[in-house]
Structure 1
Amino acid sequence: MVGVGVAEVQLVVQSDDFGMCHAVNVGTVQAFREGIVTQVSTMAACPWFTEAAALAREFAIPVGVHQTLTCEWDFLRWRPLTDGPSLVGEDGTFRRTVEEAAAGVTHADAVRELSAQAAKFAAEGLTLEYLDFHMGSSVPSAYDEVSAALGKPFIYGPDVAKRFASIEVLSDRDADDKKPWLLDYLDKLTPGVHLLVTHCAAAEPELAALHRPGTYTYRWAEEYRLSDQAMVTDPEIRQAIEDHNIELTTVGAAF
């Protein structure tokens, strides 16, 4: 729940990739309802977006558009909503890495695609709180243009990012290191608004089937998500937040 009043230390706990697959949807809802997640970044181009939108409406989850110009998985592939030729690789789906997208996607194609994703989001009756991006910055000028057109904050844009006292990602750490790191992180938060990015998912078989084993990307399929899920629903983490008088909030409420 978002705290009442203004505390010296405020924390936005964000879960990314809502709509990517069913396991992510189930875990994200649990992380919001039973854990410390306060806002959720939603991927309108992905196959399970319709379910994610329904869940967001049902549980009044604060949501943003997770602007998507890439698809990293071997076996879960998604396509753009628009037909810009620079958006896709040989198989007709999004490019696999930020580097590939940055080298190949044009500004015009990116703006058209990201605008379509925001329009699909709005068509589901969702209230747009903010925008961010999936995996990294592929076409910086496009994110800025779409954010300006929609009149909503782009979290990683220079004007918004500098308003955070810190931005950290929990996910890409070894599972055994996450709780000690997170407890230390909470203990050392300074006055201001902080952003902690997570990637939550429920323990469903589809996660391990997203990607071939043995790669860095494979760790993002299941390992990182399940350990993030454990952290954001851990009672000890919740207690630490209360003990440190940290107010859980959202970008919409804080800015």
Structure 2
Amino acid sequence: MNTAQRLGYDKDEKLLIVNADDFGLCRSVNETVTDLLTEGAIGSATIMMVCPWSSGAAAMLKKVCPDADVGVHWTLTSEWKGYKWGPLCRTRSVSSLAGPDGWFPETSGEAERKADPDEVRQELIAQTEAALKAGIRLSHADSHMGSLYGFHTGNDLLQVAFDVCVVFGLPFRLPRKLMPVGGRRIPNEIMDRAKIRVRQAEDRGIVLPDYVTGPDYDLNEGDTYEAAKAEGMALLRGLLPGVTEWIAHPSRETEELKAFHGQPAKREMEADFWRDGDVRHVLADEGIRLIGWRDLQRLQASLV
């Protein structure tokens, strides 16, 4: 039984959650994500509570769309050279999560190698509680840069994430079935470990999407909006029955974003994509139904 069926839909229904990652990153992202949520162009977002602009994001939500579907974007990395952030936990030492400068490491691989699981647990709790204290009614959780998944070293931190999901009643971004995108091959060891982790999550009552997808994060030299749009529409036409989460990174391309971000133009393309009339026609033609993470959270609550 796929997650769509568990939600009460037919097994052949294609349900799509469009989630905007990195809410709270900067003002440009905050304004764009809030606009897309209020327009109904996307279904949900996840907030980075470690970023200086997270309080601005929470204030925008409260003012414009207080009932928006927003989760916590658990963050253990700080990837840009000119813009940094570090752990929120203040109740105990989390020294394994930060370098001597106090910032998170730049890469997921470094985070995997150094992170102490107990310190990760305390940091995930701190980020979650910060979102709740900011007045956000959290609907789910996911992992910034995939730092909880163990892609680089095999040292995943998913069982720690599951512990926190259970405490706060949050479904989690872990696809029940891995789906290669863009011709990539998924190594067998990752496939095997993912199956084990999916079973462990579901045994604990955590609701998961069937699939996770999205466009390439980077923009290749010479790429245009039309090329990015064609890539996205091909992904939509290839969706399988069940619940798919689409990972989006929308923003306006502003001087603020350009000051630190390596791919600002791609973020604006992603915002334009979900407002594009041709994309809406593809959704209709393919019979794709847009839902939110709150639907999965209600299912999870019913299992308790």
Confirm or deny a common fold (TM above 0.5). Answer: yes
- Kindly report structure 1 stretches of 4+ aligned residues shifted beyond 6 Å: none
Residues 237-248 of structure 1: pairs in structure 2 closer than 5 A: 237-248=279-290
C-alpha contact (below 8 Å) 2:48/2:75 kept by paired residues: yes
Contact persistence 1:35–1:234 (CA under 8 A):
no
Alpha-carbon distance in structure 2 between the residues aligned to 1:230 and 1:148: 36
Separation of aligned partners in 2, 1:140 and 1:237? 34
Q: Which has the larger radius of gyration?
A: 2
- Note the C-alpha offset of 1:180: 1.1
Residue 121 (structure 2) aligned to one of 111, 116, 123: 111
The one of 83, 88, 94 aligned to 1:81: 88
* Structure-2 residue corresponding to 1:215: none
Is the alpha carbon distance of 1:224 and 1:162 closer, same or farther for their aligned partners in structure 2, counting shifts above 3 Å? farther
Partner Cα distance (1:154, 1:208) in 2: 31
1:121 to 118, 131, 138: 131
Letter of the aligned partner of 1:245 in structure 2?
G
Gaps of 5+ in 1: 212-217
* Change over 3 Å in CA distance of 1:162–1:150 after alignment to 2: closer
Q: Which runs of 5+ in 2 are unaligned?
A: 1-7, 149-156, 175-196, 300-304
TM-score, length basis structure 1: 0.87
Alignment partners' CA distance in 2, 1:173 and 1:118:
29
Match of 2:143 in 1: 133
2:239 partner amino acid: L
When normalised by structure 2's length, the TM-score is 0.74
Change (3 A) 1:89 1:173: closer
Superposed counterparts of 1:49-68, under 5 Å = 49-57=54-62, 58-59=64-65, 60-68=67-75
**Aligned residues: CA RMSD:** 2.1
Give the drift of 1:35: 5.6
| Contact 1:15-1:37 within 8 A present in 2 as well | yes
Partners of 2:123 and 2:209 lie apart in 1 by 28
- The Cα shift of 1:124 comes to 1.5
Report the secondary structure of 2:146's partner residue.
coil
2:128 maps to 1:102: no
| Highest RCO, 1 vs 2 (Cα 8 Å, sep ≥ 6) | 1
Query: How much does 1:227 deviate?
Result: 1.6
- Who is 2:173 aligned against? 155
Q: Per-residue deviation at 1:228?
A: 1.0
* AA matched with 2:85: W
Number of positions where the alignment pairs a residue of Structure 1 with one of Structure 2: 243
Q: 1:90 aligns with which of 92, 96, 100?
A: 100
